[in-house]
């Protein structure tokens, strides 16, 4: 069966279906209307539903973390920790200092891993053209690399020659693998050939760096993906924690990775910012006006929001002069355009239920844009759409002058003679992720130092004992930051059993379909106005969608579960 032509002419508009969107986690479809070479309307649709929520019903709360972890094999630590923290809130306990620090250290390796893999394996080919790299001059490439870094990573002329040879042989072999059907030579690529070569050479280097980062997670996490050392009340890797050799392994790998972040990743972002300056303008690939961050990496044992390493706050209408505190009571989810039954109006996650109502596609295979069209729900904060992720965190940190985030962003902006408002763009979102990687790298050093200091005092505790509640607990929430953005797990427990479970994940915010008022989600809003000169190669759309780091496995796999409602779980097609 051949895929049929995906662009449909209707009047003066063309309708384009892009499915599957590759280089993401999970299954995503994007549809857009294009008029006069620009996107005028868009729909984001999650195309897989796994129904993990009813599966959690009645499980032992100690097993729930391992199960929800399987929502996503990429941010493999995030759901595990967010679940564990929400269980700890419900049980009224907090883990000891050592466990908090080890968790932060594991999470730091997760963030760096996720951001680097995202940028290189999943996103860099939207910015760098393999076709260009083949034509590059290795001598000029080395010179160009030195313009953007004093000590550029792996930038010798010989190395660049080797990379070109490798690519040429690869292309000549006729079996192109992942580069098959690549948009070679597309006019929307703006790097010089030498720039393409630099980024693609780092694409290959990053394949090894991500192995080191996974090893870092395994030191205290047991393995990667899907680490297994986190338990309600603390961590289990006490033997590794007390072994100085383990700390040495962690810090030496941290330095190896730091070299790459500093001299490859940040330098490549400067290169891209420089050559894509036409796109580094307010609104290019960013339609969001509101930005949300819950705050991540607790720095105190009671997890106070204001002392988290990643900041907490809400920004409305792109107004960077005010930051509002977050109150989870204002979170609602609407299913007006999602394949679930429910009232038009959004509900608080503690009060929702999830009954699938699949209404199918139009006869021509397109989504029913006016009706229900996605397995993703539409979360809103105070009824407004929000963007979450590294850009939101950086802007909240900038606006609230959190730690040194403002100075960090100012340095980048000064280098490119840019105004902070230019950050509301695809380039800005991509740069924010890189800056955050360096920020987390500094954080990891701090937690290592804190751990050494705490152990030196003779504190070896890694776990807090707890009792199971006889009565059902209130809905308990841990607000958490995953690499892709704000993540909240809502849980109720009775005895050892889970009686209610609900997750609102980062990609649900960003990939959200329209809500009952017709407000688009962040992906949809951000595509409006983007140029699509060639319907065959919608590069600009992919560049913007990828800049969010979509994780559709998360977005569509978890909604909620309520006791006794499993029986109602009936699907009507």
Partner 1 sequence: MNIKDLQGYYMSIIGKVDKRLNDLYSSKAEEEFNNRLAENGFTRRDFLKWASFITAALMLPPVFESRVAKAAAVKERTPVIWLHLAECTGCSESFLRTREPDIATLIFDQISLTYHDTLMMASGERVEKHLNEAIQQYKGKYVCVIEGGIPTRDGGIYLRIGSDGETGLERARRITKDAKYVLAFGTCAAFGGVQAAYPNPTGAKGVRDALGIEIINVPGCPPNSVNMVGTILHILLFDKTPPTDLLYRPLWAYGSRIHDYCERRAHFDAGEFVEEWGDEGAKKGWCLYKMGCKGPLTYNNCSRYRFNQGTNWPIGAGHGCIGCSEPDFWDKMAPFEEPNEKAGIRIPGGKGVEATSDEIGSFLAGATAAAIGVHAIGSVIRAKAEKTVKKESE
If one asks whether residue 19 binds partner 1 (CB under 8 A), the answer comes out as: yes
Helices (H), 92-149: 97-117, 130-135, 138-148
Nearer to partner 1, 216 or 394 (CB): 216
Long-range contact set of residues 305-309: C-beta below 8 Å, sequence gap at least 24: 305/479, 309/104, 309/403, 309/443
Concatenate the DSSP letters of all residues of 190-240 into one string: -S-HHHHHHHHHHHHHHHHHHHHHHHHHHHHHSSSSS---EETTEES-HHH
CB 73, min distance to partner 1, A: 2
Instruction: Enumerate residues 445-504 that contact partner 1 by CB under 8 A.
Output: 460-463, 465, 496
The one catalytic residue among 15, 25, 387, 514: 25
Instruction: Enumerate residues 256-285 that contact partner 1 by CB under 8 A.
Output: 256, 259
CB 537, min distance to partner 1, A: 8
Angle between helices 138-148 and 193-221 (to 10 degrees): 60
For residue 200, give both structure tokens: 């693609």
For residue 308, the surrounding DSSP H or E stretch is strand 308-310
Q: State the Cα–Cα distance between residues 285 and 523, nearest whole angstrom.
A: 9
For residue 16, the surrounding DSSP H or E stretch is strand 13-18
If one asks whether residue 14 binds partner 1 (CB under 8 A), the answer comes out as: no
Local structure of 30: helix, strand or coil: strand
Q: State the Cα–Cα distance between residues 344 and 17, nearest whole angstrom.
A: 27
Nearer to partner 1, 202 or 520 (CB): 202
Nearer to partner 1, 218 or 386 (CB): 218
31 is catalytic: no
The one catalytic residue among 53, 201, 293, 554: 554
The 209-238 contact track toward partner 1, x by CB under 8 A, reads -xxx-xx-xxxxxxxxxxxxx-x-xx-xxx
Nearer to partner 1, 201 or 400 (CB): 201
Q: For residue 533, how far is the Cα from the chain centroid?
A: 28
Burial of 55 (0-12, 13-18, 19+ CB in 10 A): middle
- Scanning the structure block, which residue is given the tokens 């205290």? 220
Q: By CB under 8 A, how many residues form the interface with partner 1?
A: 111
Nearer to partner 1, 208 or 307 (CB): 208
79 is catalytic: yes
The one catalytic residue among 45, 53, 72, 333: 72
Pick the piece of the chain touching partner 1 (CB under 8 A) from 41-49, 132-140, 382-390, 439-447.
41-49
The one catalytic residue among 42, 75, 263, 387: 75
CB 362, min distance to partner 1, A: 10
Q: Which of 311, 305, 308, 347 is nearest to 327 (CA)?
A: 305
Nearer to partner 1, 214 or 477 (CB): 214
Measured at the CA of 391, the angle between CA 200 and CA 334, to 5 degrees, comes to 115
CB 308, min distance to partner 1, A: 25
Q: Which of 486, 524, 267 is nearest to 391 (CA)?
A: 486
Four-point Cα dihedral 3, 7, 11, 13, nearest 10: 160
286 is catalytic: no
Q: State the Cα–Cα distance between residues 66 and 446, nearest whole angstrom.
A: 28
If one asks whether residue 254 binds partner 1 (CB under 8 A), the answer comes out as: no
Instruction: Enumerate residues 113-172 that contact partner 1 by CB under 8 A.
Output: 117, 121-122, 125, 130, 153-154, 162, 165-166, 170
Measured at the CA of 180, the angle between CA 174 and CA 184, to 5 degrees, comes to 100
CB 404, min distance to partner 1, A: 27
Instruction: Enumerate residues 62-101 that contact partner 1 by CB under 8 A.
Output: 62-63, 66-67, 70-74, 76
CB 365, min distance to partner 1, A: 6
Instruction: Enumerate residues 309-368 that contact partner 1 by CB under 8 A.
Output: 358, 361, 365
Strands 476-482 and 234-235 turn out to be: unpaired
Nearer to partner 1, 23 or 277 (CB): 23
Local structure of 422: helix, strand or coil: helix
352 is catalytic: no
If one asks whether residue 5 binds partner 1 (CB under 8 A), the answer comes out as: yes
Binds partner 1 by CB under 8 A, chosen from 38, 55, 324, 416: 55
If one asks whether residue 569 binds partner 1 (CB under 8 A), the answer comes out as: yes
25 is catalytic: yes
For residue 29, the surrounding DSSP H or E stretch is strand 28-35
Measured at the CA of 505, the angle between CA 504 and CA 508, to 5 degrees, comes to 90
CB 17, min distance to partner 1, A: 5
Q: Report, as residue numbers or ranges, the catalytic residues.
A: 25, 72, 75, 79, 484, 507, 551, 554
């Amino acid at each position: 069966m051949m895929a049929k032509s995906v662009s449909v002419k209707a009047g003066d508009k063309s309708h384009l279906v892009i499915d599957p969107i590759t280089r993401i986690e999970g299954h995503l479809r994007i549809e857009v209307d294009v008029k006069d070479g620009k996107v005028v309307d868009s729909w984001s649709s999650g195309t897989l539903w796994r129904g993990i929520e009813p599966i959690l019903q009645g499980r032992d709360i100690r097993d729930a973390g391992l199960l929800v972890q399987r929502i996503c094999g990429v941010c493999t630590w995030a759901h595990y920790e967010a679940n564990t923290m929400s269980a700890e809130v419900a049980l009224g306990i907090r883990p000891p200092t050592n466990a908090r620090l080890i968790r932060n250290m594991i999470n730091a390796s997760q963030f760096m891993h996720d951001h680097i893999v995202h940028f290189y394996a999943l996103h860099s080919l939207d910015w760098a053209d393999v076709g260009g790299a083949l034509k590059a001059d290795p001598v000029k490439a080395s010179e160009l690399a030195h313009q953007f870094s004093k000590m550029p990573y792996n930038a010798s002329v010989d190395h660049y020659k080797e990379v070109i040879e490798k690519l040429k042989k690869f292309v000549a072999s006729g079996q192109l693998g992942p580069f098959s059907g690549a948009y070679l030579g597309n006019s929307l690529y703006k790097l010089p050939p030498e720039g393409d070569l630099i980024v693609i050479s780092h694409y290959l280097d990053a394949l090894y760096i991500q192995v080191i980062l996974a090893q870092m997670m395994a030191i205290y996490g047991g393995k990667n993906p899907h680490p297994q050392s986190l338990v309600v009340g603390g961590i289990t890797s006490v033997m590794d924690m007390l072994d100085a050799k383990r700390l040495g392994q962690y810090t030496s790998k941290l330095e190896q990775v730091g070299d790459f972040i500093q001299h490859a990743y940040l330098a490549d972002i400067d290169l891209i910012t420089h050559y894509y300056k036409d796109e580094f303008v307010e609104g290019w690939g960013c339609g969001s006006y509101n930005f949300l961050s819950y705050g991540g990496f607790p720095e105190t044992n009671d997890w106070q929001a204001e002392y988290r390493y990643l900041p907490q706050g809400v920004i409305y209408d792109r107004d960077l002069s005010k930051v509002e505190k977050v109150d989870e009571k204002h979170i609602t989810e609407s299913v007006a355009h999602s394949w679930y039954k429910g009232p038009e109006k959004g509900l608080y996650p503690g009060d929702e239920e999830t009954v699938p109502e699949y209404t199918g596609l139009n006869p021509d295979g397109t989504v029913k844009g006016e009706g229900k069209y996605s397995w993703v729900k539409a979360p809103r904060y105070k009824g407004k759409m929000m963007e979450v992720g590294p850009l939101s965190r950086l802007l909240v940190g900038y606006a609230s002058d959190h730690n040194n985030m403002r100075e960090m962003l100012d340095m980048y902006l000064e280098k490119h003679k840019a105004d902070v408002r230019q950050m509301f763009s695809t380039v800005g979102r991509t740069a924010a992720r890189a800056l955050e990687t360096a920020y987390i790298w500094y954080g990891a050093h701090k937690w290592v130092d804190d751990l050494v200091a705490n152990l030196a005092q003779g504190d070896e505790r890694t776990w807090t004992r707890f009792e199971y509640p006889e009565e059902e607990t209130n809905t308990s929430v841990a607000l958490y930051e995953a690499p892709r953005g704000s993540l909240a797990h809502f849980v109720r427990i009775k005895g050892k059993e889970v009686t209610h479970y609900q997750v609102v994940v980062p990609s649900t915010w960003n990939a959200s379909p329209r809500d009952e008022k017709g407000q688009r989600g962040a992906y949809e809003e951000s595509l409006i106005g983007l140029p699509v000169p060639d319907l065959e190669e919608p590069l600009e759309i992919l560049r913007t969608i990828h800049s969010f780091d979509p994780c559709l496995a998360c977005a569509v796999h978890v909604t909620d579960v309520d006791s006794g409602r499993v029986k109602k779980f009936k699907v009507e097609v």
